[in-house]
Amino acid sequence: MRADTATSPAPRGPSWPARFRRRRLAVAVTVGVALLTAIAATRLVEPSYRAVARLALDGKTLSVDQDVANASAHVATELQARHERVLVAARQASAISPRQSERVQTRVTDVAVDPVSERGVPLLSASFEVSIDAADAREASQATTLLLDLYLEDDERAHSAPPVPPAELVAVRAEASRLASLLAGSQAELADLEREHGPLGSMDDPGGQLTALANQARTLAAQIDDLQARRVELDRGLRDMQRGASEYRSNPGMPLTSEALSALQAQWTVLRTRNGSDAATVRELGAMIEGLQATADAKFGAAAAELATAVAEYARLEQVYPLDHPDVVRQAHTVSALESRLESLRVRGLTSGDRAYVEGLARERSQIDGRLEVLRERRESLSLQIAEQQAQATRAPEIRQRRAELQREYAELLAAQQTALEQQQLLEARFDAVLEQRPGRIATPSPLEVHRVLMSRPDVILALGLIAGVVAAFLTVAVRERVDARISGTESIRRMQGHLPLAEIPRIRTA
Amino acid sequence: MDKQTNNQYLLRIWGRAATLVLVSGLLAACATAGSKDPTPEDLAKLVERTINAGDEAARRGDFERALTHYLRALETEESLDVWFRVGAASSQVGRSQGALLAYSKVLETDPLHAQAHEGSGLEHLALGDVEAAREHLSTTIALDPDRWRSHNALGILADQTGDYAAAMRHYEAALAINPKSPMLLNNIGYSRYLSGDLDQAARDFYNVTRLYPDYEAAWTNLGIVYAQRRWYLDAVGILARVMDKAKAYNDVGYIAYRKGDLAEAERLLAEAVRVSPTYYLDANRNLEQVRARLQGGPRNAAILQMPTGPSPTLAEAAAGDEG
């Protein structure tokens, strides 16, 4: 490689280091060419005028789902939408030509946010410019004025007409309404079926329903049996308690015993519970019992007095005779007999607790017939239900199928309605957001301005100028390197001699 | 008593007496062989010694020996006094026929012999010949109003006929003569018992037991009176003083049964069975009968064993234990 290098030197011409070395020249040529190109374009291109209208947007609100941090973007979107509507209106009205419409420009110059306004929502304010370039200043002014009018009309229209719900929302509303109507019809049909054939739940398991009704009937029958048994028991108990009372009443000469008095009192209590205290029989029996008790008390008192006398006599005899004397023994037996007689004359009737108990039994006995009547009616009703259930069990498959169809239809309608309602809810929310959102009012705080535009399309001109400048700078540097014979650096030596120098004095930077 | 029976009885008595006389004669002949015949004085002395030996035996209570001596004396000399002694001794040994024969011999000799009439009346009473007894006893009272046993016997006869007032008069007359006789007091109580005056009867029996605690008849009668008053446990307590407790329960149980107190009767008879140390046949039979009645069985009181009932002490009256 080294031999090749030595035998074939590299061609002459400017290298990149050389170009870098002449950078000042290149920049100067580039800038100069670009400036010359711009000046030439300005002089050569046809002069144009720009009409600028400054507009203000006040009171625009943000919806809840819009971020205040992106206020400029929201304003730009809003203004872009308005601008497009205005341009459409302008084209429709042939107010501006298509060429003019291409030269219309908008620019947002300022955006201000009031995060906590009096209305409680963030309020946006913006300033923007609308400009039209034209060769004639008058033409630009007229077109811009026309656009301003269209801006104001659009703003007026936006605030005068209520927001129109989107078509999708209208369609969803109609669908939801239709489904609701169908659902009501299906529900009514199910209700009719249930009204006609009884509870639809009973169709699911008619055998089970029958078993349940039969169980209820058995329970009812058991309750009736229990009540009847209780009635018999009560009748027997009350009869036992009153045993002897009627016999005594028919034969009042019989000696009154505790049993007889208790029986009479029990009978009186039962009669009073059954017929009330004012019934003649009750009053008559009560008076009889009081008389009997008075007589018994008198007899008891006399016997008690007799016993007291006998006891005194016994005490006397005991003092006179030994205890085994016949008179003492006889008197002891007399006292004992009198004591027994006194005890037999002691007529004890029912206590208050006993009377309450008898009264409770009699009341229960009175109520038991009513309860039996109710239970029997329920049993008859249950028998009818069982018969009806049995008839339904026969028709159950057909009715069940019909009901299943209705239920399926109902479920489908319900699901569709649910979906429609969800969609409607979503769209309504969006529409509500739109309703809540205020686009703001357009105002023209300053008059229209028309001024001449020095450079039409300066970006293009500057770009072309720069390209021409760079080309000119490249060519200039190449020419200078070609004509310059001075050695400058090891590269110059290698190009001239074909190989590198033997040594190189380093450049030492000193302080 | 018919004449044939009397003759047979006399033949038997006289046969026995002849045997005794024969044996005695042989012994006497052996002892006095070769001696001369006894004089009337010797015979009188022999009779007197024989009678004295009989009296001595009677005082000892050996009435059989006393009767033998009296019959020997009668062999030697038939006297009214000896016949009377034969009658009394025969009564004591229970030979009423012999006693009646002896008394009749006395009365043949002396129809006004009050004691013979009395003895004959008591024997007739013992034999159940009420009319003959009443005749002899009335004659006795007529001959000697102080014969208290005759009054007592007439009182018993009056009780038997239901003439309790007459009976009471006879008893009181007897009691006036012999006021310390428990028998008379007992019979007075019995008469009152028969008349229905149970309270006074009980008092009379009780008084006898107070005066003569060993006089069993009074205790028995007092217990029976208590039982009749339905004081059954008191009656058992009284009767148990003179008899064993089981018998007392049985007797009182029987009275309770007769009075219709079946439950009491069963309890008392069961107690009699329980307290008896041995198998008490009568009480068990009575108990079975009472239980059969309680269970609705037929009434058959005759099966019940009759207990000791209240009664006058006739045997004692006839025996003349009080002189």
Q: Which residue of B has its CA nearest to A336?
A: B231
pLDDT, tens only, A324-360: 899 999 999 999 999 998 988 888 888 889 989 999 9
Q: How confident is the model at residue B123 (pLDDT cuts 50, 70, 90)?
A: very high
B residues 175-204 near A, CB within 8 Å?
A: 199, 202-203
What pLDDT is attached to residue B303?
Answer: 44
The residue-averaged pLDDT of B250-265 equals 92
- How does the average pLDDT of chain A come out, rounded? 83
The residue-averaged pLDDT of B29-35 equals 45
Q: Which residue of A has its CA nearest to B238?
A: A324
Minimal C-alpha gap between B203 and chain A (Å): 6
Contacts 24+ apart (CB under 8 A), B106-113: B106/B80, B109/B80, B109/B83, B110/B80, B112/B143, B113/B80, B113/B84
CA–CA gap between residue B111 and residue B140 (Å, rounded): 11
Q: Most B CBs within 10 Å: which of A317, A327, A330, A336, as the mutation test of the B interface?
A: A330
* For residue B124, pLDDT beyond 60: yes
- b/e map of B276-300 (b: 16 or more CB within 10 Å)? beeebebbbebbebbeebeeeeeee
Q: Which residue of B has its CA nearest to A330?
A: B199
CA–CA gap between residue A332 and residue A54 (Å, rounded): 145
Minimal C-alpha gap between B198 and chain A (Å): 10
Instruction: Tell me the CATH number at B259.
Output: 1.25.40.10
Nearest residue to A263 (alpha-carbon basis) of A299, A289, A287: A289
- b/e map of A248-263 (b: 16 or more CB within 10 Å)? bbeeeeeebbeebbbb
ipTM over 0.85: no
Chain B residues in contact with A336 (beta carbon < 8 A):
none
Cα distances (angstroms) measured from residue A430 to each of A74, A168, A442: 17, 11, 25
B164 domain-assigned: no
Contact A268, A275 (CB under 8 A): no
Q: Which of A47-51, A118-122, B242-246 has the lowest mean pLDDT?
A: A118-122
B23 domain-assigned: yes
CA–CA gap between residue B98 and residue A320 (Å, rounded): 52
Whether residue A329 and residue B203 make contact (CB cut-off 8 A), yes or no, is: no
CA–CA gap between residue B75 and residue B18 (Å, rounded): 8
- DSSP symbols for A329-343: HHHHHHHHHHHHHHH
Chain A residues in contact with B231 (beta carbon < 8 A):
329-330, 333
* For residue A511, pLDDT beyond 80: no
Cα distances (angstroms) measured from residue A128 to each of A59, A103, A108, A149, A226: 15, 16, 4, 15, 97
B198 domain-assigned: no
Quick one: CA torsion of B67, B72, B78, B79, rounded to 10 degrees?
Answer: -50
For residue B78, give its domain range. 1-111
Q: How confident is the model at residue B134 (pLDDT cuts 50, 70, 90)?
A: very high
Parallel, antiparallel, or unpaired: how do β-strands A449-453 and A123-134 relate? unpaired
Minimal C-alpha gap between A301 and chain B (Å): 27
* For residue B281, pLDDT beyond 80: yes
Q: Which of B206, B222, B231 sits opposite A333 (nearest CB)?
A: B231
* For residue A307, pLDDT beyond 50: yes
CA–CA gap between residue B153 and residue B133 (Å, rounded): 9
Nearest residue to B96 (alpha-carbon basis) of B74, B125, B73: B125
Name residue, tokens 């007032």. B165
* For residue A147, pLDDT beyond 60: yes
Minimal C-alpha gap between B84 and chain A (Å): 44
Q: What is the pTM of this model?
A: 0.48
pLDDT, tens only, B216-228: 999 999 999 999 9
What pLDDT is attached to residue B265?
Answer: 94
A452 versus A210: which is more confidently predicted?
A210
Q: How confident is the model at residue A206 (pLDDT cuts 50, 70, 90)?
A: low
Q: Which residue of A has its CA nearest to B205?
A: A326
pLDDT, tens only, B183-217: 999 999 999 999 999 999 999 999 999 999 999 99
Provide the token pair at A96.
């501006």
- How does the average pLDDT of chain B come out, rounded? 82
What pLDDT is attached to residue A311?
Answer: 95
* For residue A8, pLDDT beyond 50: no
Chain B residues in contact with A327 (beta carbon < 8 A):
199, 203
Q: Which of B203, B225, B234 sits opposite A327 (nearest CB)?
A: B203
* For residue B12, pLDDT beyond 80: no
Minimal C-alpha gap between A327 and chain B (Å): 7
A106: β partners: A130
Contact A122, A115 (CB under 8 A): yes
Chain A residues in contact with B222 (beta carbon < 8 A):
326
B173 domain-assigned: no
Chain B residues in contact with A324 (beta carbon < 8 A):
206
Phi, psi (degrees; rounded to nearest 5) at A441: -105, 140
* For residue A47, pLDDT beyond 50: yes
Number of folded domains that form chain B = 2
Q: How many residues does chain A have?
A: 511
Query: Which residues lie closer than 8 Å to A238 by C-beta, 6 or more apart?
Result: A266, A270, A358, A361, A362, A365
Residue B222 in contact with partner chain A when CB distance is under 8 A: yes
B24 domain-assigned: yes
pLDDT, tens only, B49-107: 888 899 999 998 888 999 999 988 888 878 888 899 999 999 888 888 999 999 999 99
The residue-averaged pLDDT of B15-33 equals 47
User: How many Å is the Cα radius of gyration of chain B?
Assistant: 25
Minimal C-alpha gap between A376 and chain B (Å): 50
B279 domain-assigned: yes
Nearest residue to B187 (alpha-carbon basis) of B171, B176, B199, B174: B171
Residue A326 in contact with partner chain B when CB distance is under 8 A: yes
B residues 266-295 near A, CB within 8 Å?
A: none
What pLDDT is attached to residue B25?
Answer: 47
Of B111, B133, B152, the residue that ends a domain is: B111
Minimal C-alpha gap between A340 and chain B (Å): 15
B83 domain-assigned: yes
Minimal C-alpha gap between A350 and chain B (Å): 31
A129: β partners: A54, A107
Provide the token pair at A236.
């027997």
Chain A residues in contact with B226 (beta carbon < 8 A):
326, 329
Residue A337 in contact with partner chain B when CB distance is under 8 A: no
Whether residue A333 and residue B222 make contact (CB cut-off 8 A), yes or no, is: no
* For residue B33, pLDDT beyond 50: no
Q: Which H or E run includes A36?
A: helix A23-44
What pLDDT is attached to residue B173?
Answer: 94
A254 versus A491: which is more confidently predicted?
A254
Chain A residues in contact with B225 (beta carbon < 8 A):
326
Q: Which residue of B has its CA nearest to A323?
A: B234
3-state secondary structure of B64: helix
Residue B225 in contact with partner chain A when CB distance is under 8 A: yes
Q: Which residue of A has its CA nearest to B201?
A: A326
- Cβ pairs bridging A and B (under 8 Å): 24
Q: Which residue of A has its CA nearest to B234?
A: A329
Residue B206 in contact with partner chain A when CB distance is under 8 A: yes
> Which amino acid makes up residue A467?
I
Cβ atoms within 10 Å of A79's Cβ, excluding its own: 23
Q: Which residue of A has its CA nearest to B222?
A: A326
A residues 295-324 near B, CB within 8 Å?
A: 324
Residue B228 in contact with partner chain A when CB distance is under 8 A: no
Whether residue B202 and residue A326 make contact (CB cut-off 8 A), yes or no, is: yes
Of B66, B94, B111, the residue that ends a domain is: B111
* For residue A494, pLDDT beyond 70: yes
Q: Which of A137-146, A197-206, B135-144, B261-270 has the lowest mean pLDDT?
A: A197-206
Chain A residues in contact with B203 (beta carbon < 8 A):
325-327
Q: What share of chain A is helix, strand, coil (3-state, %, to 5)?
A: 70, 10, 20
Residue A11 in contact with partner chain B when CB distance is under 8 A: no
Nearest residue to B232 (alpha-carbon basis) of B196, B214, B198, B259: B259
Residue B234 in contact with partner chain A when CB distance is under 8 A: yes
Parallel, antiparallel, or unpaired: how do β-strands A104-114 and A48-61 relate? unpaired
B102 domain-assigned: yes
The residue-averaged pLDDT of A290-317 equals 92
B residues 93-132 near A, CB within 8 Å?
A: none
Residue A336 in contact with partner chain B when CB distance is under 8 A: no
Whether residue B202 and residue A333 make contact (CB cut-off 8 A), yes or no, is: no
What pLDDT is attached to residue B204?
Answer: 92
* For residue B31, pLDDT beyond 60: no
What pLDDT is attached to residue A12?
Answer: 52
CA–CA gap between residue A14 and residue A10 (Å, rounded): 12
B246 burial type by CB count under 10 A (0-12 exposed, 13-18 middle, 19+ buried) = buried
Residue A329 in contact with partner chain B when CB distance is under 8 A: yes
What pLDDT is attached to residue A13?
Answer: 54
Of B88, B111, B134, the residue that ends a domain is: B111
Q: How confident is the model at residue B231 (pLDDT cuts 50, 70, 90)?
A: very high
Q: What share of chain B is helix, strand, coil (3-state, %, to 5)?
A: 75, 0, 25
pLDDT, tens only, A354-401: 989 999 999 999 899 889 999 999 999 999 988 888 887 787 778 878
B234 burial type by CB count under 10 A (0-12 exposed, 13-18 middle, 19+ buried) = buried
Q: How confident is the model at residue B21 (pLDDT cuts 50, 70, 90)?
A: very low
Contact A59, A148 (CB under 8 A): no
